[in-house]
Copies of this chain bind each other. A is one copy, B any other.
Amino acid sequence: MSPGDSIALYLDDLHVGQRFTSATHAIDADEIKAFAREFDPQPFHLDEQAAKGTFFDGLAASGWHVAALTMKLLVGGGAPFAGGVIGAGGEFSWPKPTRPGDVLQVTSEVLEITPSRSRPDRGMVTLRSETRNQHGDVVQVLTAKLVVPKREELPSP
Contacts and interface: CB of A to CB of B under 8 A. Distances in A.
Contacts of A147: 55
Interface in A95-131: none
Give how many copies assemble into the complex. 2
A152 interface: no
- Main SS of chain A's interface residues? mixed
Interface of A: 35, 38-44, 54-55, 62-65, 67-69, 71-72, 75, 83-94, 141, 147
23 contacts: A38-B68, A39-B69, A39-B71, A40-B68, A40-B71, A41-B75, A42-B75, A42-B84, A44-B84, A55-B83, A62-B68, A62-B71, A64-B67, A64-B68, A67-B67, A68-B68, A88-B93, A88-B94, A89-B93, A89-B141, A90-B91, A91-B91, A92-B92
